[in-house]
């Protein structure tokens, strides 16, 4: 909506009404446009030109495939037959416009923070005492991961919950991801993003709020915890940086095996070591070191982008749509892939790894968790890449107010089981209201 400024008050009141977003004109650009004034918050709507979709379909049709993997499992990456089936559907039956409509049914906005235009979804609860929460996605994710949380969080009574559990929800796209702008300079690591998120919440008028995240979202939430901006009441993470300092080197073979682990700690240690030895961190190494080397093929080839994103361990048990009951389903995963494709953000999103210098997302030392004084809540999901033992979590986070193990879910827990995830967030933050 270039050239039009809406006051924050008008915008916030507008966003509270269902369907208000439909009043806003289409934005011609895919990435958010710079605001007329730096602090203005403008409504945002997604509309991808038909030509971009046609180009995607043409490239998919023209995909040149490598030969089949030489193994019968996923040890070399996403299997050719799985990939071919998915990509064929992507270029045929899949419909991006449905994804676009889902986004545009929500109040979306854009505002410039620290020189980068930030896209976000902002839904206020009708309950007056709602607790504002900012939810951060990670890689290879996007705001699509969190859409299922919006209703349970903002309207808990509709789902058998209690009005006292209501949240106002803010879901931003990370810089370089989705409809947020792509930084043209360096420095946009988790710390800077964390500071930008505080600016965003304050700009929306929230004086007291909480933050949540998984994957990079966890790293960013922990950065906010260290920064402890005024009004940040607490954080909830589902990929906690709880691996103790003496365990990290042992995991990578650089240090001796840790002594005196409890059975639970030992099981976690062995699981993480097997995870690393299974080659599951190759993508991290690559993007941390050379985002602009891996990125050309991902930018030019839809199949290349899909193959690289689907190697993320969060998709280790994803069935490529073969199991129709699995969440996220094939269309949901393709919504996310298509968002990366249409916004041409393969390289810009990979740079968050480069910015973070290859530092581990799960290491307590690397994430300086000892500096976090705000309350911390943790939910472990059984299929996450690791489940922090409570003993490690208590060592890493001195102000741990909530620790729970969910009975199902994995790396993309909010995407997989939004109702369960919302219940965890209610429980996690209840004591902070």
Q: String of b and e for 391-408 (b: at least 16 CB within 10 Å)?
A: ebbebbbeebbbbeebee
Encode 278-303 in three state secondary structure: CCCCHHHHHHHHCHHHHHHHHHHCHH
403 contacts: CB under 8 Å, gap ≥ 6: 377, 378, 380, 390, 393, 394
For other proteins, which is the closer residue by CB, 167 or 318?
A: 318
Task: Tell me which residues touch other proteins (CB under 8 A).
Answer: 55, 59, 62-71, 75-80, 83, 182-186, 249, 251-254, 273, 276-277, 279-283, 285-286, 288-301, 303-308, 311, 344, 346-348, 351, 354
Nearest one of 264, 257, 245, 361 to 313, comparing CA atoms: 361
Min CB(60)–other proteins separation in Å? 10
Min CB(33)–other proteins separation in Å? 16
For other proteins, which is the closer residue by CB, 206 or 308?
A: 308
Q: For residues 359 and 243, what is the distance between their CA atoms, to the nearest angstrom?
A: 13
For other proteins, which is the closer residue by CB, 68 or 97?
A: 68
For other proteins, which is the closer residue by CB, 98 or 296?
A: 296
Find the distance separating the first CA and the last CA of the chain, reported in whole Å.
Answer: 36
For other proteins, which is the closer residue by CB, 185 or 324?
A: 185
Min CB(26)–other proteins separation in Å? 23
Q: For residues 238 and 236, what is the distance between their CA atoms, to the nearest angstrom?
A: 7
Q: For residues 242 and 338, what is the distance between their CA atoms, to the nearest angstrom?
A: 33
Min CB(294)–other proteins separation in Å? 7
Min CB(221)–other proteins separation in Å? 24
Two tokens, residue 352: 């968050």
For other proteins, which is the closer residue by CB, 125 or 338?
A: 338
Q: For residues 134 and 121, what is the distance between their CA atoms, to the nearest angstrom?
A: 10
Min CB(112)–other proteins separation in Å? 18
For other proteins, which is the closer residue by CB, 129 or 289?
A: 289
Min CB(276)–other proteins separation in Å? 5
């Amino acid at each position: 909506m270039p050239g039009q400024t809406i006051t924050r008050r008008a915008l916030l009141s507008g966003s509270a009404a269902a369907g208000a977003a439909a009043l806003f004109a289409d934005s011609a650009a895919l990435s958010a446009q710079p605001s007329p004034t730096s602090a203005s918050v403008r409504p945002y709507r997604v509309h991808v030109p038909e030509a971009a979709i046609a180009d995607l379909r043409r490239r998919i049709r023209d995909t040149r495939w490598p030969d089949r993997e030489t193994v019968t499992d996923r040890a070399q990456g996403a299997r050719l037959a799985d990939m071919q089936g998915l990509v064929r559907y992507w270029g045929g039956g899949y419909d991006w416009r449905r994804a676009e409509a889902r986004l545009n049914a929500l109040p979306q906005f854009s505002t410039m923070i620290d020189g980068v235009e930030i896209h976000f979804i902002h839904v206020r609860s009708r309950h007056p005492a709602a607790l504002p929460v900012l939810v951060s996605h990670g890689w290879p994710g996007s705001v699509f991961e969190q859409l299922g949380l919006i209703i349970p969080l903002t309207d808990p009574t509709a789902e058998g919950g209690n009005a006292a559990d209501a949240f106002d929800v803010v879901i931003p796209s990370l810089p370089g991801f989705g409809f947020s702008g792509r930084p043209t300079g360096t420095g946009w690591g988790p710390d800077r993003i964390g500071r930008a998120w505080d600016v965003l919440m304050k700009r929306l008028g929230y004086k007291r709020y909480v933050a949540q995240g998984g994957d990079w979202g966890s790293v960013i939430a922990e950065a906010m915890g260290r920064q402890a901006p005024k009004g940040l009441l607490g954080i909830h993470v589902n990929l906690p940086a709880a691996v103790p300092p003496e365990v990290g080197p042992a995991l990578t073979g650089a240090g001796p095996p840790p002594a005196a682990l409890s059975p639970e700690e030992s099981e976690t240690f062995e699981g993480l070591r097997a995870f690393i030895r299974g080659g599951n961190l190759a993508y991290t190494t690559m993007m941390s070191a050379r985002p602009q080397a891996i990125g050309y093929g991902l930018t030019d080839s839809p199949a290349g982008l899909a193959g690289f994103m689907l190697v993320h361990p969060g998709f280790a048990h994803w069935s490529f749509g073969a199991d129709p009951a699995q969440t996220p389903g094939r269309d949901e995963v393709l919504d996310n892939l298509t968002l990366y494709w249409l916004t041409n953000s393969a390289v810009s999103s990979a740079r968050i790894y480069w910015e973070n210098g290859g530092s581990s997302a799960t290491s307590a030392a690397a994430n300086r968790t000892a500096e976090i004084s705000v309350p911390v809540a943790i939910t472990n999901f059984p299929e996450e890449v690791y489940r922090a033992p409570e003993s490690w979590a208590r060592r890493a986070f001195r102000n741990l107010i909530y620790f729970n193990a969910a009975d199902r879910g994995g790396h993309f827990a909010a995407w997989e089981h939004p109702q369960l995830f919302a219940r965890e967030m209610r429980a996690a933050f209840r004591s902070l209201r």
